[in-house]
Structure 1
Amino acid sequence: MIHQTWVQKKRDRVFILGFIFLFLSVTPLSAIGEDYPARPMMIIPGFQPGGTNAITSQIFADHAKKYFSKPQPILINYKPGASQAIAASFVLSQPRDGYT
Structure 2
Amino acid sequence: MNAVQVSQKLEEEYGMENVHRTSIYDDVRLLQSCGYPIKQAENSHKGWYMEKHLLEDWEIKLMLDSVQQARCVSVHDANEIRNKLLNLTSQRGRSRLISSSHF
Query: Greater RCO between the two (CA within 8 Å, min separation 6)?
Result: 1
TM-score (norm 2): 0.28
> Could you say which structure has the larger radius of gyration?
1
Q: Normalising by structure 1, report the TM-score.
A: 0.28
